[in-house]
Amino acid sequence: MVVAAGAAGLGGLLVGRWLSDRLGRRPTVAVAMAGMAIFGTLAYSGPAWALFSGYVAGVACGAVFAPAGGSLANELFPTSVRASVAGWYIAAGVAGAVVGLLAFGVVADVRGTSHHLALAAVVVFLPMILTTGFLLLLPETKGKEPEELWPALPAGSAGEDVDAEPRPADDDRDAQPRAGAERLTKRGGGAADPDPADPPRVRGSEP
């Protein structure tokens, strides 16, 4: 059963990659989540064939979920908060797994009921199908660039100093000696007016 689940998981990754780029991230995630809930419930329904088929099919659906879910979580958020979102995504997955295990155990230990495991699976797994409706609140990211989902950052947010004064252009610095030459030409070759930008020269300092 474990070997079959491993092969099914590899096939699920390939199928999930293909569906994510063809149908979209949201539909693939919704189908995979519904499949995990249904086949997980089947695995705990009782017969040996149900355990085998439900376990293998559930692993395959989990593998289908991985490419689409990972892409959607990364593409929905800009790079400025993407690392934080990834951390919360992992933390939420761990918390959900712990709560699910605890809830499954509590329901399965209820006395006076038959098929404890099947009942626990129905209570814990099947409500996950209803949560797929929240995917409609998220934008579809297939075929879109991050710039299409998030507006451009304001000026200065990327480390730019918007209050800094602009540096003079090279043309402005070159214009100063040209202006002095023009004044010299207009005076008929006489001495040009002293330019405040030029330092004073001391007679006899030149060779």
- pLDDT at position 167 is 52
11-20, 45-54, 156-165, 189-198: which has the minimum mean pLDDT?
156-165
Tokens of 74: 């990364």
Q: Are 65 and 16 in contact (CB under 8 A)?
A: yes
pLDDT in tens, 97-138: 999 999 999 988 887 667 788 889 999 999 999 999 999 998
Query: pLDDT > 90: what percent of the chain?
Result: 45
pLDDT at 32 over 80: yes
Q: Is residue 157 part of a domain?
A: no
How far apart CA 190 and CA 207 sit, in angstroms, is 23
180 within a domain of the structure (yes/no): no
Task: Tell me which DSSP letter residue 23 carries.
Answer: T
CA distance 19 to 23: 5
Put simply, whether the predicted model's pTM sits higher than 0.85 gets the answer no
Residue 123 covered by a domain: yes
Range of the domain at 40: 2-136
The answer as to whether 162 is a domain residue is no
Is 56:42 a contact under the CB 8 Å cutoff? no
Confidence bin at 62 (pLDDT 50/70/90): very high
Q: What mean pLDDT is predicted for residues 150-176?
A: 50
Give how many domains the chain has, as a whole number.
1
Query: Across residues 63-76, what is the average pLDDT?
Result: 91
Q: Is residue 19 part of a domain?
A: yes
193 or 138: which carries more pLDDT confidence? 138
Q: Is residue 199 one of the residues assigned to a domain?
A: no
pLDDT value at position 186?
54
Is residue 166 assigned to a domain? no
Q: Per the domain annotation, does 181 fall within a domain? A: no
Residue type, 181: A
CA separation for the pair 167, 174 (Å, rounded): 14
Residue 200: pLDDT over 90: no
